[in-house]
Amino acid sequence: MWLQVIYLNVFYTSIVLILPLILVLTLNVLLIRTLQESKRRLRLNSLEHYEGRSETNITVVMVAIVIELVLCHTPDRILQVRPYLIRRRLS
């Protein structure tokens, strides 16, 4: 019984929610930094009026993906943990 609780609550949560969230956030931060550096180089290399709209759109999409990841997986984790918490409280 306890192994099932540990698997479902700790291992599964870390693999399904925490690890992907950390990966997506890390990769997004690296990508945003690269886009900002690219935008800065383009401005310095004769495109003084470069606005970087496509980079801004990419950043918005990446933030939306992170929010979607959290919003879709967190309720599932709450629903999975809730019965164990209720049983523990009643015991």
Tokens 């992907």 found at: 20
Q: What is the pLDDT of residue 26?
A: 92
59 contacts 33 by C-beta, under 8 angstroms = no
pLDDT tens, residue order, the chain (91 aa): 667 777 777 887 788 778 888 998 898 889 888 888 887 777 777 656 666 667 677 778 888 888 888 888 888 888 877 887 787 777 6
**Residue 49, CA distances (Å) to 34, 41, 52, 74 in order:** 19, 12, 9, 42
Q: What is the pLDDT of residue 1?
A: 64
Q: What domain range includes position 46?
A: 2-90
pTM of the model: 0.62
Question: Rg for the chain (alpha carbons), in Å?
Answer: 20
If one counts the domains in the chain, the total is: 1
Which region holds residue 46: left if phi is over 0, alpha if psi is between -120 and 50, else beta?
Answer: left
Rounded Cα distance between 28 and 34, Å, is: 10
Q: What is the pLDDT of residue 48?
A: 60
Choose among 51, 57, 50, 67: nearest CA to 32. Answer: 57
